[in-house]
Amino acid sequence: MVVTVNNIAYDLKHGLKTDIYYPNDTDSQTKILIFWHGGGWFRGSKESIRDVAIDLANAGFMTFVPDYRLAPANHFPAAHEDALNFAAWLLASNYTDEGDENNIVQIGASSGGTLALKVAGMYGFPTVTWSAPVDFSSWLADHQEVKPSVNAKEELGLTKQQAINEAFYKYFVLTYAGSEDSDLLADLDAQSYDYTKLGRLLMLNSAAELTDLAGVTDFAGRLAGRGHQVDLEIIPGHGHAMDYGREYLRESMTYLNYALSLKTRSE
């Protein structure tokens, strides 16, 4: 039976909290997983992935699901800062022991996957992303004709799924960025993050995402070119993040368990 503890404060200044899902048996070697929810940085909550968190806890992961500040009330880099602050809080908290940095892994869905990338580069936690957006500045520069819309079918009368997806993509990027400034958008690009400590990374993306896969493949190639272990898996179909997440949850856990085992062997 999974035990859940809700609304543990990790950032009093911004009123941010995390839920914790405990597996049946916990000890000093318990695996710890951080799950970053999606929602384009303007919606979504820790409660939205409760069922997934329970599955993770049942599989032996002590699972933390933090909230973070959302747009438009909070623009970039607010959510990114919250993700880093949560990782620092977790390592300094009573929920971890000395050396637990080597027991922590991550899964991030959609925009939560982008946050997971930021944390992975700074802390080295093995990470799986589900449909993480990575390309913003060049994509917006190449799609200036696209009108941003959270629901382009209703608001703009669009009927083609690709056009609807592109309108939504532009909407949530600009809503979080708060500006079309090219330098700011370049800072938001995942390739601009510090990956000094990046560990193993598995990126899952469907064949027909919100945007074409060129940005993702280029990003993965750049990381691999720097000597990082990056695995990119393209899933048939057009689902995004949580659309296929449950189906690929076991594979994600297998990957993370393997990454942890490699860490243990290298110690």
Question: Which tens digit of pLDDT belongs to each residue from 16-26?
Answer: 999 999 998 76
According to the model, what pLDDT value does residue 263 have? Answer: 77
- Phi/psi region, residue 44 (left: phi>0; alpha: psi -120 to 50; beta: rest), is left
The predicted-structure confidence for 185-199, as pLDDT tens digits, reads as follows 999 999 999 999 999
List residues bridging with 251 in a β-sheet.
none
| Alpha carbons 241 and 245: distance in angstroms, whole number | 6
Using alpha carbons, list the distances in angstroms from residue 61 to 28, 66, 159: 12, 15, 42
For 88, counting Cβ atoms within 10 Å of its Cβ (0-12 exposed, 13-18 middle, 19+ buried), the class is middle
Length of the chain: 267
3-state class of 189 per DSSP?
coil
Closest Cα partner for 104 from 16, 6, 36?
Answer: 36
- Please state whether the predicted TM-score (pTM) of the whole model is above 0.85: yes
Q: Report which residue type is found at 258.
A: Y
Look at residues 230, 207, 200 and name the one whose alpha carbon lies nearest to residue 218. Answer: 230
What is the chain's pLDDT, residue by residue, as a tens digit (267 residues)? 899 999 999 999 999 999 999 998 765 568 999 999 999 999 999 999 999 999 999 999 999 999 999 999 999 999 999 999 999 999 999 999 988 999 999 999 999 999 999 999 999 999 999 999 999 999 999 999 999 999 999 999 999 999 999 999 999 999 999 999 999 999 999 999 999 999 999 999 999 999 989 999 999 999 999 999 999 999 998 899 999 999 999 999 999 999 999 977 665
- Model pLDDT for residues 34-80, shown as the tens digit of each residue: 999 999 999 999 999 999 999 999 999 999 999 999 999 999 999 99
Residue 238: the pLDDT is 86
pLDDT at position 214 is 94
